[in-house]
Amino acid sequence: MSDERRAINEALQHALSGQGSHVATATVFDGLDWKAAGVRPRNAPHSVYQLLWHMAYWQEWGLKWLDGKRPTVPKHASGSWPDDPAPPGRQAWTSEVRRFRAGLKRLEKHAGDVDRLPSRGKLTGLGVVQSIASHNSYHAGEVVLLRQMLGAWPPPSGGVTW
């Protein structure tokens, strides 16, 4: 693999993980009680649960695309958000966190081999992975802010410090 390809692989891995930019994307939900995850602070448009569900939704969309499928885009933005701000229970919260982390791991595997990322139509695999990484990063910041507002930050692993 060329130095250029190796650098692209490393940049994608860092973008997906949050390394060098913010707390690890995979850990922003750690230690959050499922009931707190469903609270929408005053004037906040979403709860942490809704953000998690939305992030997992678009990760899965991207993974389907990367796997050669043709996932449909919802007719309206609301189609990629859950209606209820709260998970129906502890098990649903835990399952959603697992779904998100599993999708993130699969994306990291795809990003680990830039030469095999597909291109179809106007989309490229590199662009899809980068877009999801940016999307996750954007919403991870919102999760951190909501958790701070709820008094539930940092996670057990700690926040970003140096």
Q: Structure tokens of 102?
A: 């599993």
CA dist 59 and 65 (Å) reads 10
Rounded Cα distance, 162 and 159, in Å: 10
Written as six digits, the tokens of 136 are 């996750």
CATH class belonging to 3-149: mainly alpha
Mean pLDDT by 10 residues, the chain (162 residues): 86 90 92 98 97 98 95 95 97 98 95 84 93 97 97 88 58
Task: Identify the residue whose tokens are 């060329």.
Answer: 2
For residue 159, the model assigns a pLDDT of 79
Tell me how far CA of residue 142 lies from CA of 38, 123, 148, in angstroms. 14, 27, 10
Give 113-148 as a DSSP string.
Answer: -GGG--EETTEEHHHHHHHHHHHHHHHHHHHHHHHH
pLDDT at site 88 = 97
Instruction: For the full predicted model, state whether its pTM sits above 0.85.
Output: yes
pLDDT of residue 162: 55
